[in-house]
Amino acid sequence: MEATLSHSTPSPVSLAPARKGRLWTGLVLGGLPALFLLFDGAMKLLLIAPVAEAMQRTGFPLETARPIGIILLACVVLYLVPRTAVLGAVLLTGYLGGAVVTHLRLGDPLFSHVLFPVYVGVLLWAGLYLRDERVRVIAPWTRPGALAP
């Protein structure tokens, strides 16, 4: 009886460690910023003193803190659910873009404040790239000639 696997199909056993390592790395890379954003959203819901001070400093009315927190938490939940993770990442990218603009408008320091949301977004997408085959398939650097001028 002949083997049913072709020579171009790698053995599932040989791929298991690489996939498992990539999955765990992706979970950690995406999980850390997701935890940070969950914490941030929860603090906005609780309206603790530092949130009130930050809202005033950034020029947002205090009554917008809770809706912003709800939006943030909803986006993070979408990101954490595998089936909706790509939508969550896209929505969080928009949210983080708003944070970049807010810090830029205030004249905050570039690397510690303005670009911090960019760092968070890069970690979110890197984690998603490592754990989700759909993202790896559509990434421009995975298609031959896609980045060529």
Q: Helices 12-46 and 65-80: crossing angle, nearest 10°?
A: 170
Alpha carbon distance 96, 37 (integer Å): 10
Q: Which residue has the higher pLDDT, 140 or 101?
A: 101
- pTM above the 0.85 mark? no
Q: Which tens digits make up the pLDDT trace of 4-42?
A: 444 444 444 444 555 899 999 999 999 999 999 999 999
